[in-house]
């Protein structure tokens, strides 16, 4: 209908996505640091479901410039712990309806997800994941190499004779979505309810009084607020240092790349934990590929030749015919890794400071559920039941949520 | 290809080295608490840090001083020499 309106009307101007005033205000009910998917989703759920509208989202660069725009857009819920599976499954439920909710096509495309096993040890972990998933009502099951071949005829099951595929974990709800659309969609809908999104506005200090948040200093002035949500991925250690909060987060670059476009041949998602590679094909025909983290801690999103060379080496074992393909672009994001490969969410020792961090290499898939649960946590000053296991305090009490076995590739 | 200057045999490709994590700033023998805080919490800031790096072909450990903000390597010293002078 909207298209028809434009067909009949000479005035084609689309309204702007965001209506943010040029100047920063003096006071906000909630300040969200980081205008990535998580921060904007939190602003959306606060403004649409919790009746809080006086919100500023601060971004030191531009919308989605961090890991939101740098991931490989894979969405799945085949995790290892019940806490993890329940949480990510809720995210998939929200993703399925997201285009309607945001009135913007986020190109959510369910295409199945195969995690390949090349050793008995991997087969054991995958069987474990399949059983936990089934127990939680998630569609995951073990499949034979022949079933993998049927879904993806181009694959070399012997992997050049080096590490033959023994089986795979199939996960039906595995999907991809357009990452920019997710961030922009949440931002636009939040903006409709009065949320201000300030880009090029860097946080320089956080102010507290008697253990409570009182304000935020930025590169464009000081703001008074009692609630701050921190969703800044790779910059988390810098933010926590401002408040003197200890954390187990360390920053490692995660790199990815795309090939030149090819005809559609891959309509599923292929992951190999042992070969350290995951690949899917975009609607434009490019292959989006990623590998494991860089080997050493680094606070930088620089790319390296070692990554492409190492990843291509492994990928060609799976798909030898890609030998002629060319890499078009490569990039990196700063992944905030935690010891147990689960996020850190919820309240902190500083009252009014809410953390959404530790999203390492698994954050994009959780965007909607993070927004929803963080909004609930901020509005009620009480953690949403889905994120209770992910509290920062779990490291002090050794109640870890062991998700390392469910990371897309072995790290 | 990034190179790391090995003090024994000169420039070597970075992927010949394996990262071994930062050196302990506190002597692990003296920590008596069993709190998870001491075990898991780390200094995750971007700074110049001293780290273990292992050169696979020559099977030697080195202490590398590296800026984790920009990956710039300042010094590479054999581990033996670093700890025992």
ipTM of the complex, rounded to two decimals: 0.91
CA gap A177, A64 in Å, rounded = 14
Is A302–B66 a contact, with Cβ atoms under 8 angstroms apart? no
Q: How far is A161 from chain B (nearest CA, A)?
A: 25
Residue with tokens 């309106």: A5
SS3 category, A247: strand
pLDDT confidence of residue A406: 75
Rg (CA), chain A: 21
Is A306–B68 a contact, with Cβ atoms under 8 angstroms apart? no
Is A300–B2 a contact, with Cβ atoms under 8 angstroms apart? no
Cβ–Cβ contact B46 with A under 8 A: yes
Residues in Cβ contact with A55 at an 8 Å cutoff, skipping those fewer than 6 apart: A28, A29, A30, A31, A32, A43, A46, A47, A190, A194, A195, A196
Q: What string of pLDDT tens digits covers the 411 residues of chain A?
A: 666 777 777 676 677 788 888 899 999 999 999 999 999 999 999 999 999 999 999 999 999 999 999 999 999 999 999 999 999 999 999 999 999 999 999 999 999 999 999 999 999 999 999 999 999 999 999 999 999 999 999 999 999 998 999 999 999 999 999 999 999 999 999 999 999 999 999 999 999 999 999 999 999 999 999 999 999 999 999 999 999 999 999 999 999 999 999 999 999 999 998 899 999 999 999 999 999 899 999 999 999 999 999 999 999 999 999 999 999 999 999 999 999 999 999 999 999 999 999 999 999 999 999 999 999 999 999 999 999 999 999 998 888 888 887 776 654
Is the CB of residue A387 less than 8 Å from the CB of residue A345?
A: yes
Cβ–Cβ contact A300 with B under 8 A: yes
- Concatenated DSSP letters of A112-159: -EEEEE-SHHHHHHHHHHHHHHHHTT--EEEE-HHHHHHH-TT--TTG
Q: Is the dihedral of CA B75, B71, A356, A249 positive or negative?
A: negative
Is the CB of residue A411 less than 8 Å from the CB of residue A292?
A: yes
- Degrees, nearest 5: CA angle B80-B82-B85: 80
pLDDT tens digits along B13-64: 998 999 999 998 776 677 666 677 778 888 899 999 999 999 999 999 999 9
CA gap A282, A279 in Å, rounded = 10
Q: In terms of CA atoms, which chain B residue is nearest residue A335?
A: B44
CA gap A57, B71 in Å, rounded = 31
Kindly list the distances between the CA atom of residue A23 and the CA atoms of A7, A60, A64, A128, A199, in Å, as whole numbers in the listed order.
37, 15, 21, 53, 11
CA gap A273, A31 in Å, rounded = 38
Residues in Cβ contact with A140 at an 8 Å cutoff, skipping those fewer than 6 apart: A78, A129, A130, A133, A134, A169, A170, A171, A172
Residues in Cβ contact with A110 at an 8 Å cutoff, skipping those fewer than 6 apart: A172, A173, A174, A175
CA gap A43, A372 in Å, rounded = 9
Buried b (16+ CB within 10 A) or exposed e, A112-125: bbbbbbbeeebbeb
Residue A96: Cβ within 10 Å count: 16
Cβ–Cβ contact A310 with B under 8 A: yes
Rg (CA), chain B: 14
Q: In terms of CA atoms, which chain B residue is nearest residue A334?
A: B69
CA gap A123, A136 in Å, rounded = 20
Q: Is the dihedral of CA A351, A235, A249, A273 positive or negative?
A: positive
Whole-prediction pTM: 0.93
CA gap B35, A232 in Å, rounded = 27
Is A238–B15 a contact, with Cβ atoms under 8 angstroms apart? no
CA gap B12, B2 in Å, rounded = 8
CA gap A65, B10 in Å, rounded = 39
Q: How far is B8 from chain A (nearest CA, A)?
A: 22
């Amino acid at each position: 209908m909207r298209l028809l309106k434009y067909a009949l009307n000479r005035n084609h101007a689309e309204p702007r996505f965001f209506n943010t005033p040029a100047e920063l205000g003096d006071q906000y009910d909630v300040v969200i640091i980081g205008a990535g998917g998580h921060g904007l989703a939190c602003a959306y759920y606060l403004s649409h479901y919790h009746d809080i509208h006086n919100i500023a989202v601060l971004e030191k660069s531009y919308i989605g410039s961090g890991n939101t725009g740098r991931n490989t857009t894979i969405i799945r819920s085949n995790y290892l712990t019940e806490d993890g599976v329940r949480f990510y499954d809720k995210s998939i439920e929200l993703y399925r309806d997201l285009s309607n909710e945001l009135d913007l096509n986020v190109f959510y495309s369910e295409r199945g997800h195969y995690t390949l096993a090349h050793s008995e040890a991997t087969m054991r972990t995958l069987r474990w994941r399949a059983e936990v998933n089934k127990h939680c009502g998630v569609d995951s099951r073990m499949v034979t190499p022949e079933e993998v071949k049927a879904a993806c005829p181009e694959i070399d099951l012997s992997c050049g004779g080096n590490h033959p595929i023994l089986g795979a974990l199939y996960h039906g709800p595995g999907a991809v979505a357009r990452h920019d659309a997710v961030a922009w969609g949440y931002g636009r809908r939040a903006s409709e309810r009065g949320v201000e999104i300030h880009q090029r506005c860097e946080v320089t200090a956080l102010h507290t009084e008697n253990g409570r948040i009182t304000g935020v200093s930025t590169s464009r002035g000081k703001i008074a607020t009692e609630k701050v949500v921190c969703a800044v991925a790779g910059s988390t250690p810098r933010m926590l240092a401002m408040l003197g909060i200890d954390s187990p987060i360390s920053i490692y670059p995660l790199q990815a790349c795309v090939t030149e476009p090819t005809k559609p041949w891959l309509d599923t998602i292929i992951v190999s934990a042992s070969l350290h590679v995951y690949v899917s094909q975009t609607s434009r025909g490019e292959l989006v590929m990623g590998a494991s983290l860089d080997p050493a801690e680094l606070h930088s999103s620089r790319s390296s030749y070692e990554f492409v060379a190492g990843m291509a080496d492994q990928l060609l074992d799976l798909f030898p015919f890609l030998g002629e393909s060319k890499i078009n672009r490569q990039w990196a994001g700063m992944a905030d890794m935690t010891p147990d490969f689960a996020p850190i969410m919820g309240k902190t020792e500083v009252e009014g400071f809410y953390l959404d961090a530790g999203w390492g290499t698994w954050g994009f898939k959780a965007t909607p559920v993070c927004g929803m649960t963080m909004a609930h946590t901020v509005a009620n000053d009480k953690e949403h039941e889905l994120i209770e296991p992910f509290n920062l305090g779990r490291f002090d009490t050794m109640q870890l949520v062991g998700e390392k076995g469910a990371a897309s590739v072995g790290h | 290809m990034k190179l790391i200057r090995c003090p024994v045999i000169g420039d070597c490709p970075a992927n010949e080295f394996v990262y071994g994590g930062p050196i302990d700033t506190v002597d692990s023998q003296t920590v008596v608490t069993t709190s998870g805080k001491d075990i898991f919490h780390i200094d995750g800031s971007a700074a110049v840090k001293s780290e273990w790096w292992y050169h696979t072909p020559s099977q030697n450990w080195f202490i590398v001083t590296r800026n984790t903000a920009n990956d710039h390597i300042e010094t590479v010293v054999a581990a033996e020499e670093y700890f025992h002078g």
